[in-house]
Amino acid sequence: MTSKPKVQTTAGTKATSFTPAGPLTGRITVPGDKSISHRSLILSSLAVGKSQITGLLEGEDVLATAAALRAMGATIEKSDDTWTVHGVGVGGLMQPDTAIDLGNSGTSVRLLMGLVASHDISVTFTGDASLSKRPMGRVIEPLSTMGAEFTARMSSDGKACLPLTVRGLCPAVPMEYRLPVASAQVKSAILIAGLNTPGVTRVIEPVLTRDHSETMLKGFGADLTVETDKDGSRIISLTGEAELSPQKIKVPGDPSSAAFPVVAALLVPGSDIVVENVGINPTRAGLFTVLQKMGGDISFKKKRTVGGEPVADIHVKHSKLTGIDVPADIAPSMIDEFPILFIAAALAEGTTITGGLSELRVKESDRLSQMAAGLSLLGVDVTEREDGLIITGNGELIPGGKKNAAIETALDHRIAMSFAVAGLVTKKGATVDDMSPTETSFPGFADMLTALQDSTK
């Protein structure tokens, strides 16, 4: 049986239509983990000597980090499948000649602000329209306490934003900092600043966030300990001035990218797929737990550990989902996965309630309002609250888009990919205004969807 064409680009525009698909089948891999890729390049640049990285995500965000590190003196090259980084050693970064444009990448700018903060250099960071709206005060505040100086553009609502210049202090002053927001970027910025700071830099984390920085810093030989206090907060202590030794790193597939084919396979009738080699670190795998609670048939095969990270092949079969009340405390372990969860909720029978998600308003876009707007356009029953969405599905296909109405993605890759998946399970299809943001984290996204459809033919 031949199925209808699923992905159509309207000539002369960036708008792309996604229409109902036959079953998705086959085995795929997804690009390397974005968080681990950024950290691999940054820590390798601070080691003395040659590190080698395979599986690196070659998306725009990670390439922006690589370009920034090159501008500060690291040598970073690719040959065949391997990226080689010749690090300059902790403290060895050089003054770049020009401002550094980090495109759409919040992780790049926040981690690199930490890097510059304890070096005797001054760097100006710029970004695209989305990144230029995102709040930087959460990183500026602790790094200023360590002695770095910042000048930033103030937004109309009084937030410090890009363009921004950071002048590092060397030696910086070690500090103890209790995170006021659950943010792995803020935690990591402080720890990276601590690498070139004499004494012990301590981050207290009341709510556990992704722990790749801790695992990787230890792997590179930094003196880092993690304790838990009586309230359950994590106390992460790093002794500077660290000496990092070069590593060979294998980056696993990104669970945040695997989320899209996993949800697509759950939703499209008759689907049965395996996504190979995906990181399933518990600080990242919350979506899979929530989908299983909704009735999703998801199982983890060949569980193994690669470079200190748990990895598995994820087997997913089409399932009938039921709406649930998603506990707010699972949010940090799936913070990037709510857009695609909202699509699953739209197909589930009954109501899905989410809350505690005000952080979603300061991601690449305001993900609560963009998702609510897009879902409404597709005829889904959605209510937007200050800190979450309430979505009611009836277990059937989404009614579908109003004629010619494209869903606005606001330079947000995860909004684009979520509505692409939604298009496969609508009665009439969905048109996404601009799929180009997917290049930041998931090059080849549309080809991946086509390959899963083609293997059925």
Q: Please report how close the Cβ of residue 266 comes to ligand S3P at its closest, in angstroms.
A: 23
Report the site for ligand S3P in 35-54 (rule: CB under 6 A). 35
Give CA–CA dist 331/102, Å, rounded. Answer: 27
39 is in an annotated binding site: yes
In the shown chain, the binding pattern of residues 8 to 37 toward ligand S3P, with x for contact by CB under 6 A and - for none, equals ---------------------------x--
Which is closer to ligand S3P, CB of 6 or CB of 210? 210
70 is in an annotated binding site: no
Q: Please report how close the Cβ of residue 335 comes to ligand S3P at its closest, in angstroms.
A: 5
Cβ proximity of 164 and 152 under 8 Å: yes
158 is in an annotated binding site: no
- Catalytic option among 61, 128, 313, 336: 336
Alpha carbon distances (Å) from 404 to 9, 242, 280, 314, 377: 13, 57, 39, 36, 11
Q: Please report how close the Cβ of residue 281 comes to ligand S3P at its closest, in angstroms.
A: 12
By CB under 6 A, is residue 283 in contact with ligand S3P? no
SS3 content of the chain, % helix, strand, coil (to 5): 35, 30, 40
Amino acid identity of residue 115, one-letter, is L
Amino acid identity of residue 180, one-letter, is P
Amino acid identity of residue 64, one-letter, is A
Which is closer to ligand S3P, CB of 214 or CB of 433? 214
| DSSP type of residue 190 | H
Give CA–CA dist 367/364, Å, rounded. Answer: 8
Q: Which stretch binds ligand S3P (CB under 6 A): 43-51, 182-190, 229-237, 317-325?
A: 182-190
Cβ proximity of 236 and 189 under 8 Å: no
Q: Pick from 104, 118, 130, 185: which binds ligand S3P (CB under 6 A)? A: 185
Task: Examine the residue annotation and report whether 211 is marked as an active-site residue of this protein.
Answer: no
Which is closer to ligand S3P, CB of 134 or CB of 318? 134
Cβ proximity of 210 and 39 under 8 Å: no
Neighbouring residues of 454: CB distance < 8 A, sequence distance ≥ 6: none
By CB under 6 A, is residue 105 in contact with ligand S3P? no
17 is in an annotated binding site: no
Which is closer to ligand S3P, CB of 210 or CB of 318? 210
336 is in an annotated binding site: yes
Which is closer to ligand S3P, CB of 210 or CB of 234? 210
Amino acid identity of residue 148, one-letter, is A
By CB under 6 A, is residue 247 in contact with ligand S3P? no
Residues making up the chain, counted from first to last: 457
- Which residues in 336-370 are b (16+ Cβ under 10 Å) and which e? bbbbbbbbbbbbbeebbbbbbbebbebbbbbbbeb
Q: Which of 165, 68, 69, 72 is nearest to 122 (CA)?
A: 165
By CB under 6 A, is residue 108 in contact with ligand S3P? no
363 is in an annotated binding site: yes
Number of residues that bind ligand S3P (CB under 6 A): 9
Give CA–CA dist 212/219, Å, rounded. Answer: 10
95 is in an annotated binding site: no
Q: Please report how close the Cβ of residue 8 comes to ligand S3P at its closest, in angstroms.
A: 29
Q: Pick from 44, 188, 283, 426: which binds ligand S3P (CB under 6 A)? A: 188
DSSP letter for each residue of 49-107? EEEEEES---SHHHHHHHHHHHHTT-EEEEETTEEEEEEE-TT-----SS-EE-TT-HH
Q: Please report how close the Cβ of residue 285 comes to ligand S3P at its closest, in angstroms.
A: 14
414 is in an annotated binding site: yes
In the shown chain, the binding pattern of residues 302 to 341 toward ligand S3P, with x for contact by CB under 6 A and - for none, equals ---------------------------------xx-----
Q: Please report how close the Cβ of residue 395 comes to ligand S3P at its closest, in angstroms.
A: 30
Report the site for ligand S3P in 208-227 (rule: CB under 6 A). 210
Q: Pick from 63, 88, 117, 184: which binds ligand S3P (CB under 6 A)? A: 184
By CB under 6 A, is residue 192 in contact with ligand S3P? no
E-state strands within 222-266 = 223-228, 234-240, 248-250
By CB under 6 A, is residue 183 in contact with ligand S3P? yes
Residue 407's H or E segment, with its range, is strand 406-407
Active site residues: 336
Annotated binding site for phosphoenolpyruvate: 34, 106, 134, 185, 367, 414
Q: Residues interacting with ligand S3P, by CB under 6 A?
A: 35, 107, 183-185, 188, 210, 335-336
